[in-house]
Amino acid sequence: MTPTLPAPSSVPSAPGVRHHDATRGTGGGRLPLRADLADEVPYGAPQLDVPVLLNVNENPYPPSDAVVASIARRVTQAAHGLNRYPDREFLDLRADLADYLAVESGVRLGPEQLWAANGSNEVMLQLLQAFGGPGRTVLSFAPTYSMYPEYARDAMTGWVAGRREEDFTLDPDRAAATVAEVRPAVILLASPNNPTGTALPLATVEAVLDAAARVEVDGAAGASPVVVVDEAYGEFRRRGVPSALELLAGHPNLAVSRTMSKAFGMAGARVGYLAASRELVDALRVVRLPYHLSAVTQAVARAALEHSDELMAQIGSLRAERDATAEWLRGRLLDGRPLEVADSDSNFVLFGRFADRHAVWQGMLDEGVLIREVGPEGWLRVSVGTPQEMETFKAALVRVAGLEEAR
């Protein structure tokens, strides 16, 4: 006989436990969904099938035939061993990433200082699993990447958004004061920032690192917060703008996150990575799922890295197209006033402000051009595409928003 359990409604609540009606969908089933997830929907920029896709900051150029051939060769090799689990430590890939960063930024790191996962999104979640958690807080400075609060939520970590200035820069003194006040366990600084494109001077990152060094995470004699500089768009920074990789020596609590999704043109491969002290990387090795990076993913990433020279060459033309797009936008009038355009060290440009940005976004979509409705009210973001795509974007924007040329 099945023992009779009390009806759920008669089960006494544990003190402090919030009960929530987690009934979802039309099936009428009740799932014990976490209360803080009950009103959440899956994240995602619209994936629509239109001719000009300028909404998620991808590289518009598909991999060359030479890159495709290398990927096919390495994946074939890997396929012969797919009965076995992949290399859990993937030190070969980590060494290739270290070599790439040495060329890209002039900073030489050891393979043990590199880490990779399925997109920098996963690296970021691992960081919060290791250094965040219940009772701890993540601090960032808005407007910034819309995924950060979701990582915090998924890692059951509190979320505090400090403020950037009107021009989207970060004031070092105000940022340091916010760190002292919030006493976070993890600080996320996107540089270049998404959706604004703003890069942080190293002096600002250092001011945050100094402020963090004076905070004790779990009270007296606790360790200091981890500072993560998210350089997803690092390769697009303008000449003379340094990478926070230069600050790694001497800052064991600093992590610099990068990705192959943007400049590298490998968004579909899902490879993000991080550079930090060996101790910090070792902490991530504790929380990663076993064999999280498949043998196929490792093969694809290593094949693409063989061609980094070719891919780096392409970045120059994307940067030039970015600057040309920003300049063109600055030369247009909206209702008699010049458009506002944020300085960008990324492969996108944030511009506005529109009284009804959704109408402009929709009008562009109707013209076959998908851009992004993101950032502070009134602004829109366009990713840098091919020269032809940018011509289509400009012509459509003039028609949809009724822009005039400044003279």
Ligand X SMILES: *Cc1c(COP(=O)(O)O)cnc(C)c1O
Give the chain's length: 407
Position 297 contacts ligand X (CB under 6 A):
no
Question: Minimal CB distance to ligand X: which residue?
Answer: 119
Which lies closer to ligand X via its Cβ, residue 261 or residue 344? 261
Which lies closer to ligand X via its Cβ, residue 183 or residue 262? 262
Pairing of strands 254-259, 340-341: unpaired
Which lies closer to ligand X via its Cβ, residue 119 or residue 184? 119
- Give the side-chain half-sphere CA count within 13 A for 160: 18
Q: Would you say 123 and 117 are in contact if contact means Cβ atoms under 8 Å apart?
A: yes
Which lies closer to ligand X via its Cβ, residue 150 or residue 206? 150
Position 191 contacts ligand X (CB under 6 A):
no
Rounded to 5°, angle at Cα 178 from 172 and 180:
105
Position 55 contacts ligand X (CB under 6 A):
no
CA distance 46 to 286: 35
Q: DSSP alpha helices (H): ranges in 288-330? A: 295-306, 308-330
By C-alpha distance, which of 291, 283, 94, 110 is closest to 186? 283
Judged by CB under 6 A, the chain residues 338 through 397 that form the site for ligand X are none
Dihedral over Cα of 86, 88, 92, 93: its sign: positive
* Structure tokens belonging to residue 369: 């051009």
Question: From the CB of 56, what's the least distance to ligand X, in Å?
Answer: 7
Among 93, 152, 190, 403, indicate the residue that binds ligand X (CB under 6 A): 190
Which lies closer to ligand X via its Cβ, residue 196 or residue 253? 196
Position 232 contacts ligand X (CB under 6 A):
yes
Applying CB under 6 A, the span of 113-121, 133-141, 202-210, 235-243 interacting with ligand X comes to 113-121
Position 119 contacts ligand X (CB under 6 A):
yes
CA distance 370 to 391: 14
Which lies closer to ligand X via its Cβ, residue 328 or residue 348? 348
Position 243 contacts ligand X (CB under 6 A):
no
Q: CA-based Rg of the chain, rounded to a whole angstrom? A: 23
Residues in touch with ligand X (CB under 6 A): 57, 119-121, 145, 190, 194, 230, 232, 259, 261-262, 267, 272
